[in-house]
Amino acid sequence: MSEMVFENFDHEAKALWGNHVLKLRHTLHERALFSDDKLGAILDQIPEHRMAINTMGIGTHDAGTWSYCKRGDLSGVELINAVQQGRIWINVTKIAEFVPEFSELMDEMFAEIEGNVPDLGVFRKSMGLLISSPNAQVFYHADVPGQALWQIRGEKRIWIYPNTEPFLKPKALEGIIRGTTEEEMTYQPWFDKYAEVIDLKPGDMAHWPLNGPHRVENKDCLNISVTTEHWTPEIRRHFAVQYGNGILRQFGWTPKSRDLYGPTAWAKIAMTAAWRLSGQQKRQAFKRQMRFKLDTKAPGLLVPFGSAA
């Protein structure tokens, strides 16, 4: 019999799920799956296109310093050592597609979530693995599907902001949903006054309302976390309507409604489907530009991508 994932998913958590910021306790950090040796072996299995490696500036909130890096010839264990020493954020996306242990774990996690929130209606789900350096940060951004962040090792602080203006502007959300921009958005330091601040230690999990802007700062320690993403019919409808609004905006129309139901919503949903089937999605999608390559012999472990070093 598998062990329980949650320690305290009670009636209050069920009532708050999806509509409010929620912090719960879990047991994932107690599993052997997250040792350095095990994770190193897992990283050696991951296709390059499923592993985003980033570095970023120190201290200040400068999203322009968020840079993509090539892995180079580092083994999985060497990669974890580089993260421990450097200023690196690794995001392995859809890890359950490549690692059976993570697929089984994800099924356990969502079985408990849906058991506690039976009307949730998840029809698609995925899991990511985050391995990040001491004091690394992720700048202000928003994600498209439903999200949760599960802390395994180390400590981090997350600021979660309202998913309404001025924190989340419709045009910015439309760009994120359509994939024409990255997830980062305009941030003002005064936004922090209106954020919910959560400190995550091993065994803590945070979940927040759809598209809630957030940013993350690690404490002075190696951090290992997992993320979960999920889609429900309501989230899919929201995606399609906002995507349609983005298409209208591209052609000079300012959308007047973000309603998810009614004839106008159906027209936007149909337009979104046609646009994506036409191939326009791929042609206009944001493309990553590599700026560095990991090199254990280089100061800071990074060399400019394309250099002879």
Whether residue 226 is contained in a domain is answered as: yes
Q: Are residues 29 and 176 in the same domain?
A: yes
What strands lie across the sheet with 223-231, from one edge to the other? 22-25, 204-208, 146-153, 223-231, 124-132, 88-92, 51-55, 67-70, 290-294, 302-304
Note whether 225 and 237 are same-domain residues. Answer: no
Of 309, 303, 305, 301, nearest in space to 86 by CA: 301
CATH number at residue 222: 2.60.120.650
Separation of alpha carbons 160 and 251, rounded Å:
32
Asked if residue 300 and residue 248 are part of one domain, the reply reads no
Residue ranges, the chain, pLDDT below 50: 1
- The confidence score (pLDDT) of residue 1 equals 44
- Cβ atoms of 161 and 209 within 8 Å: the answer is no
**Domain-embedded: residue 52:** yes
What domain range includes position 244? 233-277
Same domain, 260 and 300: no
223 CA to centre of own chain: 15
Cα 146 from Cα 21, distance rounded (Å): 12
3-state secondary structure of 184: strand
Tally of domains within the chain = 2
Domain co-membership, 69 together with 59: yes
User: Terminal CA-to-CA distance of the chain, rounded, Å?
Assistant: 52
Note the pLDDT of residue 184: 65
Do both 170 and 193 map to the same domain?
Answer: yes
Q: Are residues 144 and 198 in the same domain?
A: yes
Residue 282 falls inside a structural domain: no
- Name residues whose C-beta falls within 8 Å of residue 165's C-beta, 6 or more positions apart in sequence: none
Q: What is the pLDDT of residue 183?
A: 62
CB 217 within 8 A of CB 149: no
> Amino acid letter at 44?
D
Task: Decide if 219 is inside a domain.
Answer: yes
Q: Count CA within 13 A, CB hemisphere, residue 86.
A: 28
